[in-house]
Amino acid sequence: MKTQFILLFVTFFIIISVALKGEKQDQII
């Protein structure tokens, strides 16, 4: 299903964004 694939991609992107932000400074989005 495409919906599940999109959800997985979005979740993956969010995790990477949080990880990158965590490296620079501890801040919650």
Over the stretch 1-29, which tens digit does the pLDDT of each residue have? 789 999 999 999 999 988 887 666 665 55
In this prediction the pTM is 0.55
State residue 19's pLDDT score.
84
CA angle 18, 23, 24 (to 5 degrees): 100
Q: Which amino acid is at 17?
A: S
Q: Residues 29, 18: contact at Cβ < 8 Å?
A: yes
State residue 24's pLDDT score.
63
- Structural domain boundaries in the chain: 1-28
